[in-house]
Structure 1
Amino acid sequence: MNIEKKKNFIINTLYIAIISVIVFFIIKYGLGLLAPFIIAFIIAYCLKKPTDWVSNKLKLPKKLTSILMVILFFSTIGVIIVLLTLRIGSGVAYLFTFLPEFYTTQLSPTLMAFFDVIEGMFKSMDPQLIQTLSDVLNQSLKALGDLLSNLSVMVISSVTNYASALPELLIRILFTLISTFFIAIDYDQIVAFLQRQLSQKTFTLVTHIKDYIVGTLFVCIRSYALIMFITFVELAIGLSIIRVENSLFIALLISVFDILPVLGTGGIMIPWIILTAFQGNYVMAIGLLVVYLIITVIRNIIEPKIVGQQIGLHPVVTLLSMFIGTKLFGVLGLFGLPITLSLLNHLNEDGTIKIFK
């Protein structure tokens, strides 16, 4: 009996491991190949209800309405992308024209004064040690200057690398655009064809999974919108208390930036704190540091709790899945793995599958 149990355990473990590896490679590499068509199908799915409503209200043929809705959708997205690109581009251009002047007029004198203070503190030390310290400080200052001077070259190199990948990106966008038209026009026929390939039980399960994922994805979006709003309120209050100009606008920008999994609030706050300290405004730097620490602590407490409660997972499980998902699949894993675990938990609870007790 024990031998049979061990055999079954080994077989089940290998089976789960093989399935997990296959799923991992499909998600890691297969999604990239099929991404244009998957995105096109998702867009067509999102446009189906508005298309049906407009077609019924205006008594237009459904295929014509589908074409018009797809054109309207991509036109709106295109205008938004162009406006954002122009805005971000002008901001980046200003930043990299401002950096050399900022280094020459503010940062370099501040650093020199800071180094003079340090050197004055060690005057009673061995002259050779003082000279060594002075050389190290001068080399550090020169290295920082070279870094800021070469930053523009690094940006140009990055832009060149992105430009080399632009043809492939344009091809993907073109395939997505064309696929969306075809899928939106014949959406009902495509879904009916896919339904015929599945048994009734399997189709019911797929529909159940689809409805749950769509609902959970909406819940995740709502949860992160709530987190972003909380971060915005905290920033607006904190920056207003320490008397930062345009505190509401800056708080809005940082709260939007905070959604990014790698950069987050620290991507803006930490450089801001360092530059403020180098300028000699230590009171403001300490104030910014306190605001950043409060926001970080509260974010780490509320994010797993809010997201976990919304998708039915324990905060520890949510935090673990977000961390692992980000490491394995990037931004897709940040949202995808918690939703997948929530789906498995839901299917296990309603008795569709049995994974754990």
Structure 2
Amino acid sequence: MQVVAWKGVKVLIKLLTKRRFLILLVVMIAVSIAYIVLPISLPLIISFITALLLEPFVKKLQYKLKIKRRISVLIVFIFFILLLSLCSYFITTKVIAEVIKIVENSPFFINEMSKKWVNIEAYLMTLSKDLPPVVIKQISFQVQQFLDNFKDSLLSYVNINNLKAILTNIPNYLVSFIVFLVALFLFLLDLPKINENLYQHLSEKTTTKVTIMSSRLSYVVFGFLKAQFLISVIISILSLIALLIITPEIAIVMSLLIWLIDFIPIFGAITVLAPWALFQLLTGGMVLGIELVVLICILLVVKKMIKPKLIGTQVGLSPLSTLVTMYLGFKILGLIGIIVGPFLLITFNAAREAGMIKMNFKI
């Protein structure tokens, strides 16, 4: 056994050349530094990623209008801030309006929920009248325990300490947001210089491969955003048509909110409609609640049908590959995996097309 282990160590020493050891050491140091630095540099990282996403728009505007990069960056940056402000204003005012409405109508809602609970208790008593007293006592105990746990969980999140912590951190959030905007503008201005400095440390062969890969990834990211925009437009139009039939007085506002939320890849229309439907069901609006649940089901089916096709077409993946990577990403990483899965496959394909990964083998 010791001989086998020693042979294994010898093989490992042979494989671990000086160059590979240095690469491994650099990777370990980089991971350690990233583990320490990443949490405190999140605004800078997000601003850099956002700059990479906005770069195709800067280049396209510069090419179409024949203007300097600084002017193109300024126009794109202003449009980005306007869009961000519009979305923030719309969502914030909507949330505040709904909170005010809930607070104003809270006595009515509490009375309605109390009546519903009394009716449910009476119904359960009629169902359980033939059951043994021990079973009835156990059911009552379990229901009461569930309600107590739910109340405790709710109070643990909604309390004065958490509210105080949120209000105390507002200056930090504001500083982080300002840093994000300033860094975004500077990154947009200096991206060509950053690329140039990076390419200076690469050989000609590696530079060609990196250029091919980066251009492919830029095309893919732009295509993904385009596909996501088309999906959100389709979902919002379907929502508008349905809401004009269900509740026409707020159909336009809610469909716009659904469009804004659905454009964010991780979220979707269900983020808006599910709480609304649940609220209606709990407060006695059974008809509207059921109609909203049906609308959620329809939108989920439509989205599942069109999303793999649209994303696959725009980013150059087959619908099957897109569906498989989205499913595996979701199972492994959760909601964020829906984006990460296809992106990893796209990165792999781009690296293979650039010659960084070679798959020339036969079985």
Q: Are 2:217 and 2:350, in contact at CA under 8 Å, matched by a contact in 1?
A: no
Displacement of 1:104 in angstroms is 1.0
Distance 2:149 2:111 in 1: 13
Which residue in 1 is equivalent to 2:4?
none
Distance 1:307 1:241 in 2: 30
Distance 1:276 1:27 in 2: 49
Displacement of 1:205 in angstroms is 0.9
Distance 2:324 2:267 in 1: 22
- Per the normalisation by structure 1, the TM-score is 0.70
Displacement of 1:230 in angstroms is 2.7
Deviations 1:42-98 (A, max 9, x none): 6567534544665x57xxxxxxx4444444443343344344433333333323322
Residue of 276, 299, 310 corresponding to 1:272: 276
Q: Are 1:323 and 1:334, in contact at CA under 8 Å, matched by a contact in 2?
A: yes
Q: Are 2:352 and 2:358, in contact at CA under 8 Å, matched by a contact in 1?
A: yes
Aligned CA distance change for structure 1 residues 267 and 38 (closer, same or farther; 3 Å):
closer
Q: Are 1:254 and 1:265, in contact at CA under 8 Å, matched by a contact in 2?
A: yes
Q: Please say which of residues 220-229 and 116-125 is displaced more in the overlay.
A: 116-125
Matches within 5 A, 1:78-89: 78-89=81-92
Q: Are 1:304 and 1:318, in contact at CA under 8 Å, matched by a contact in 2?
A: no
Deviations 1:260-287 (A, max 9, x none): 4554222222221222122323222222
Aligned CA distance change for structure 1 residues 267 and 156 (closer, same or farther; 3 Å):
farther
Residue of 298, 304, 317 corresponding to 1:312: 317
Aligned CA distance change for structure 1 residues 111 and 95 (closer, same or farther; 3 Å):
same
Displacement of 1:165 in angstroms is 3.8
What amino acid is aligned across from residue 279 of structure 1 in structure 2?
T
Q: Please say which of residues 224-233 and 39-48 is displaced more in the overlay.
A: 39-48
Displacement of 1:37 in angstroms is 5.3
**In the alignment, is residue 282 of structure 1 matched against residue 290 of structure 2?**
no
What amino acid is aligned across from residue 171 of structure 1 in structure 2?
V
Secondary structure, counterpart of 1:258 in structure 2: helix
Which residue in 2 is equivalent to 1:344?
348
Displacement of 1:159 in angstroms is 4.4
What amino acid is aligned across from residue 277 of structure 1 in structure 2?
L
Matches within 5 A, 1:229-248: 229-248=233-252
Which residue in 2 is equivalent to 1:174?
182
**In the alignment, is residue 163 of structure 1 matched against residue 167 of structure 2?**
no
Deviations 1:138-176 (A, max 9, x none): 99499769959x858555643433433433443343344
Which residue in 2 is equivalent to 1:47?
58
Distance 1:309 1:288 in 2: 31
Distance 1:284 1:23 in 2: 57
Matches within 5 A, 1:187-336: 187=192, 191-310=195-314, 311-313=316-318, 314-320=321-327, 322-323=329-330, 326-327=333-334, 334-336=338-340
Secondary structure, counterpart of 1:208 in structure 2: helix
Which residue in 1 is equivalent to 2:107?
104
Secondary structure, counterpart of 2:202 in structure 1: coil
**In the alignment, is residue 91 of structure 1 matched against residue 113 of structure 2?**
no
What amino acid is aligned across from residue 279 of structure 2 in structure 1?
L
Q: Are 1:228 and 1:259, in contact at CA under 8 Å, matched by a contact in 2?
A: yes
Aligned CA distance change for structure 1 residues 269 and 176 (closer, same or farther; 3 Å):
closer
What amino acid is aligned across from residue 111 of structure 1 in structure 2?
M
Q: Are 1:257 and 1:265, in contact at CA under 8 Å, matched by a contact in 2?
A: yes
Report the RMSD for the aligned CA atoms in angstroms.
4.6
Q: Are 1:348 and 1:356, in contact at CA under 8 Å, matched by a contact in 2?
A: no
Deviations 1:152-206 (A, max 9, x none): 855564343343343344334334434544x27xx4x665554443322211111
Aligned CA distance change for structure 1 residues 85 and 162 (closer, same or farther; 3 Å):
same
Q: Are 1:115 and 1:137, in contact at CA under 8 Å, matched by a contact in 2?
A: no
Residue ranges of structure 1 left out of the alignment (5+ in a row): 58-64
Distance 1:248 1:233 in 2: 10
Secondary structure, counterpart of 1:118 in structure 2: helix
Which residue in 1 is equivalent to 2:77?
74
Secondary structure, counterpart of 2:210 in structure 1: helix
Q: Percent identity?
A: 23
Distance 1:93 1:117 in 2: 32
Aligned CA distance change for structure 1 residues 301 and 22 (closer, same or farther; 3 Å):
farther
